[in-house]
Amino acid sequence: MYIMSSMSEASSNGINGTLQLMKLEAQEWKLQAEELKVSLKVAECKVAQSTSLYRRAKSIEGLQGIKNATLEHERLEAQLKYALSKLTTTRAQITFLKKAANI
């Protein structure tokens, strides 16, 4: 009777032990699933941040292009003013030479 009782208890402990192991494994799987969820959220945030930075960089490139175009426009205006000044000077010299030749 004692042997049967011990065997029954051992069998019961074995089943309980197996159930405990299965519960622990289930908990471990749950923790891994939670870790994966967190990793996914982190990855989503990084993608969103990268997308935002990409858009900002493209916007800055556009602004830089506008700035470069503005600088080019200003440079061309300065060259035009210089050319007009040279033209005015040349006209004045021609007028002076014409008057001097008539004297």
Pull the structure tokens for residue 64. Answer: 């830089």
Instruction: Sketch the domain layout of the chain as residue ranges.
Output: 33-101
pTM above 0.75, yes or no: no
Pull the structure tokens for residue 28. Answer: 């471990």
Pull the structure tokens for residue 95. Answer: 């007028």
CA distance 81 to 22: 87
What is the four-CA torsion angle of 68, 69, 72, 78, rounded to 10 degrees?
A: -120
pLDDT tens profile 26-61? 888 988 999 999 999 889 988 888 888 888 888 888
Start-to-end Cα distance in the chain: 151
pLDDT tens profile 67-95? 888 889 999 999 999 999 999 999 989 98
Whole-number Cα distances in Å, 94 to 73, 86, 97, 98, 101: 31, 12, 5, 6, 10
Dihedrals φ, ψ of 51, to 5°?
-60, -45
